């Protein structure tokens, strides 16, 4: 490795390593060992290859010195040829070992990335909805990318580097000391001139790189927000393009300035260190030549010392920055383990049961619930705050009790924020109750397996969320084994088949981010088609017709009628016209059921339901107005 390459390596190492000063955590090291255990054979082979490579790296300069001595002393031609062939064989072996070590390094590193990413991904999927409502998506994705890769470096780069560099350094010093201890000591004296500037310049440039990374992240966040469908719409309606452009340009200009300063500093630094390396070689040739002319040192030893010098600075500078690299990798591991240590509030019991076959009833018995505080479901680093909000836990549902027999429809109505959606979220176990029980088919949902719960209960929310994927992929999410005939049947029953047939690629048409290439009513009918495809026995409709015009609502309502047939349903609705045929209507206010009964009974009672009815339809409005709106 040349001096210039060594300088670049040291500079890169310092620039890209986090400057942490925390001590090694034994618990973290033990957990790292657990993750590394499946790869222990590869790690052992990796270390052995590093040692062999170090031995070969030292052998070549020594043999080169013997060649020079044989030439100078007029030795046997056969000896020179044999030495040359041996050097060639060592070069071939070193190249082969290098390729093998690189492949092994890649296998080891990628295998560790796979294990860590899979562990984090699977763990995050088990987290409750409360976790995702608080966590910044970008911060979470960063754990799966940047931190996992940072942890991987500990095995693929740092581990091998420390072992091979340490062996190379010890062997090189030992050989150099046997050749000339005076020249070796002088070479070591020049080491600070090489290492100290690298560390100081590296930290300075690391600060500039961090600033550039922060600015790039801010620009990336801004672009992500502005380039999404809802963000672009908001900018079109209320944005100020000139000011947006000026702010973006100012940050981009600062990044460009940092790039120029960084490139200049790098050039000056590398040139200076290359000069230092040239002076070191000049010292070896000058002092070594003087010793050789006086007969106290063989000419071949001078050549060997010069070659060994170039191989000594590389491991020395690498080992000087090894602690920083190790600490950086340790921090990455700790950030990954931080996510893995966050225990999900909702866990499946080992003896979880299945929902009984046949029609399913829904029952709430004296349910009390309060949303968990942030410190129970999230991490400050994932929310990008200094400390988590410890507020929370205040009860929002107070003794909710009702029962929907199999095949019945129960409607929840009331003011916004009364707790209707919270009740609905307890059924699919998005949250767990604090007191009381939620039952499906007579079994507490906490005793049911997640797979059985998903197969029994379906939910349509008011936003009709779709992935940026094809119509087919969004539907198959409900039932991966469904055939095209099944898909078209679900689309027909949700009144969407004609629309999908008219799309450019039919079922393979991409619907866009969050389904924004479809209208609100079309998105809702897509979620209903997904529900029909899943064939679940219990259906939750959470404001499924909210924010739709009369035409779209009529189409969605028609599809919902198909979806609810022979199913147990819990329907949350703001428009009372959509729930007048429900078997049971519950009026929820401030987390309590204040009224219950059928539509006619509640109107006759003259309570809160009648008040909501008058607000929507006007004083003295006749039933015909409801029928018209419902149509």
Q: Which alpha helices (H) appear in 321-449, and where do they start and end? A: 322-340, 374-377, 380-383, 420-426
Question: How much of the chain, in percent, has pLDDT values that exceed 70?
Answer: 76
Chain mean pLDDT for the chain: 78
Can you tell me the mean pLDDT for 48-74? Answer: 82
Q: What is the CATH number of domain 362-462+538-630?
A: 3.40.50.300
d(Cα 466, Cα 477) in Å, to the nearest integer? 10
Per-residue pLDDT tens digits for 22-42: 445 577 778 777 877 888 888
Q: Of the ranges 67-76, 189-198, 443-452, 517-526, which one carries the lowest mean pLDDT score?
A: 189-198
Residues of the chain with CATH 1.20.1560.10: 3-340
What are the residues facing 570 on neighbouring strands?
Answer: 410, 540
Whole-structure pTM value = 0.65
In terms of C-beta density within 10 A (0-12 exposed, 13-18 middle, 19 or more buried), how is residue 319 classed? middle
In the block, tokens 């492949």 appear at 103
* pLDDT value of position 412: 92
In terms of average pLDDT, the best of 26-35, 345-354, 455-464 is: 345-354
Q: Where along the chain do the CATH 3.40.50.300 domains lie?
A: 362-462+538-630
Give the whole-angstrom CA distance, residue 8 versus residue 205: 13
| Contact present, 336 and 139 (Cβ < 8 Å) | no
Q: Rounded to the nearest 5°, which phi and psi values hold at 510?
A: -80, 130
Phi, psi angles (nearest 5°) of residue 426: -80, -25
The dihedral region occupied by 569, where left means phi > 0, alpha psi between -120 and 50, and beta the remainder, is beta
Residue 631 has pLDDT above 50, yes or no: no
pLDDT surpassing 70 at residue 555: no
pLDDT, residue 629, reads: 36
Give per-residue pLDDT as tens, 101-127.
878 877 877 787 788 888 888 888 888
Per-residue model confidence as pLDDT tens digits over 168-203: 888 888 888 888 888 888 777 766 665 666 566 656
Sign of the CA dihedral running 296, 299, 303, 306: positive
Question: What pLDDT sits at residue 548?
Answer: 58
Q: Which residue has the tokens 């947006």?
A: 244
Question: Position of tokens 């070969």?
Answer: 56
**Distance from C-alpha of 60 to C-alpha of 72, rounded to nearest angstrom:** 19
Give the separation between CA 479 and CA 475, rounded to whole angstroms.
7
Top-ranked range on mean pLDDT: pick from 16-20, 306-310, 574-578: 306-310
- Mean pLDDT confidence for 282-293: 84
What is the pLDDT at residue 630? 35
Mean pLDDT along residues 370-398:
71
CA 607 to chain CA mean position, Å: 51
pLDDT surpassing 70 at residue 45: yes
Highest mean pLDDT among 39-48, 110-119, 417-426 belongs to 417-426
Torsion of CA 26, 27, 33, 38, to 10 degrees: 170
Which among 272, 267, 147, 148 has a CA at the least distance from the CA of 205? 267
Assign a CATH topology to domain 3-340. Answer: ABC transporter transmembrane region fold (1.20.1560)
User: Could you give the percent of the chain with pLDDT greater than 90?
Assistant: 8
Q: How confident is the model at residue 225 (pLDDT cuts 50, 70, 90)?
A: low
Specify the pairing of strand 409-413 against strand 584-589: parallel
CA 376-382-384 angle, 5° bins:
110
Contact 98, 160 (CB under 8 A): no
Q: Nearest-CA neighbor of 477 among 429, 526, 520, 431?
A: 526
Contact 144, 120 (CB under 8 A): yes
pLDDT at 627: 34
pLDDT, tens digit, 9 for 90 and up, residues 269-284: 667 666 777 777 788 8
Instruction: Find the distance separating the first CA and the last CA of the chain, reported in whole Å.
Output: 80
Q: How far apart are CA 366 and CA 591, in angstroms?
A: 12
Q: Could you tell me the two tokens for 260?
A: 């120029």
pLDDT score at 183: 83
CA angle 558–562–565, rounded 5-degree value:
135
- Lowest mean per-residue pLDDT among 196-200, 283-287, 444-448: 196-200
Q: How far apart are CA 46 and CA 91, in angstroms?
A: 19
Q: Which pLDDT belongs to residue 556?
A: 65
Closest CA to 616 of 591, 599, 595: 599
DSSP-assigned beta bridge partners for residue 593: 588
Q: What pLDDT sits at residue 505?
A: 87
Is residue 372 pLDDT above 70, yes or no? yes
Does an H or E element contain 587, and which?
A: strand 584-589
In the predicted structure, residue 364 carries a pLDDT above the cut 90: yes
């Amino acid at each position: 490795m040349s001096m210039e390459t060594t300088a670049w390596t040291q500079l890169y190492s310092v620039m890209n390593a986090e400057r942490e000063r925390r001590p090694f955590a034994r618990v973290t090291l033990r957990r790292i060992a657990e993750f590394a255990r499946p790869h222990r054979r590869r790690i052992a082979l990796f270390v052995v290859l590093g040692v062999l490579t170090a031995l070969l790296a030292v052998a070549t300069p020594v043999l080169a010195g013997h060649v020079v001595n044989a030439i100078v002393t007029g030795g046997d031609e056969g000896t020179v040829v044999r030495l040359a062939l041996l050097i060639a064989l060592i070069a071939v072996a070193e190249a082969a070992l290098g390729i093998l070590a690189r492949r092994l390094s890649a296998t080891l590193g990628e295998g560790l990335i796979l294990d860590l990413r899979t562990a984090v991904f699977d763990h995050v999927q088990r987290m409750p909805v409360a976790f995702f409502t608080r966590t910044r998506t970008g911060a979470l994705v960063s754990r799966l990318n940047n931190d996992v890769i940072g942890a991987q470096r500990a095995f693929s780069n740092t581990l091998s580097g420390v072992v091979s560099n340490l062996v190379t350094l010890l062997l090189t010093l030992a050989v150099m000391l046997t050749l000339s201890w005076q020249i070796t000591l002088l070479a070591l004296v020049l080491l600070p001139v090489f290492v100290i500037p690298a560390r100081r310049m590296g930290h300075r440039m690391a600060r500039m790189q961090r600033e550039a990374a922060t600015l790039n992240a801010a620009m990336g966040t801004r672009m992500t927000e502005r380039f999404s469908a809802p963000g672009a719409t908001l900018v079109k309606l209320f944005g100020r393009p000139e000011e947006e452009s000026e702010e973006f340009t100012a940050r981009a200009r600062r990044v460009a300035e940092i790039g120029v300063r960084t490139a200049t500093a790098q050039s000056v630094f590398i040139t200076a260190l290359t000069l230092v390396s040239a002076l070191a070689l000049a010292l070896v040739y000058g002092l070594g030549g003087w010793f050789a002319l006086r007969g106290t040192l063989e000419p071949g030893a001078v050549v060997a010392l010069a070659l060994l010098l170039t191989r000594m600075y590389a491991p020395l500078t690498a080992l000087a920055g090894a602690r920083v690299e190790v600490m950086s990798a340790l921090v990455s591991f700790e950030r990954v383990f931080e996510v893995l240590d966050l225990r999900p509030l909702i866990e499946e019991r080992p003896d979880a049961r299945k929902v009984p076959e046949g029609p399913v009833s829904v029952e709430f018995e004296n349910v009390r619930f309060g949303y968990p505080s942030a410190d129970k479901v999230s991490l400050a680093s994932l929310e990008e705050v200094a400390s988590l909000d410890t507020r929370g836990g205040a009860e929002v549902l107070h003794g909710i009790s009702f029962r929907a027999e199999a095949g019945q429809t129960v409607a929840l109505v009331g003011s916004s924020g009364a707790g209707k959606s919270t009740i609905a979220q307890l059924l699919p176990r998005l949250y767990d109750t604090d007191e009381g029980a939620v039952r499906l088919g007579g079994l507490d949902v906490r005793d049911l397996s997640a797979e059985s719960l998903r197969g029994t209960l379906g939910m349509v929310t008011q936003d009709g969320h779709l992935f940026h994927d094809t119509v087919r992929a969004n539907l198959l999410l409900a039932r991966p084994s469904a055939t095209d005939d099944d898909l078209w049947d679900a689309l027909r029953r949700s009144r969407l088949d004609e629309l999908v047939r008219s799309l450019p690629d039919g079922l393979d048409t991409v619907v866009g981010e969050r389904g924004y290439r479809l209208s609100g009513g079309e998105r809702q009918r897509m979620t209903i088609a997904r529900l029909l495809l899943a064939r679940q026995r219990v259906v939750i409709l959470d404001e499924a017709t909210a924010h739709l015009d009369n035409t779209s609502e009529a189409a969605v309502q028609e599809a919902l009628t198909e979806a609810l047939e022979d199913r147990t349903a819990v329907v949350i609705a703001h428009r009372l016209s959509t729930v007048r045929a429900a078997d049971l209507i519950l009026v929820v206010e401030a987390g309590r059921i204040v009224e219950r009964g059928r539509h006619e009974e509640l109107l006759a009672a003259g309570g809160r339901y009648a008040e909501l009815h008058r607000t929507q339809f006007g004083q003295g409005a006749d039933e015909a107005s409801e029928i018209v709106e419902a149509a």
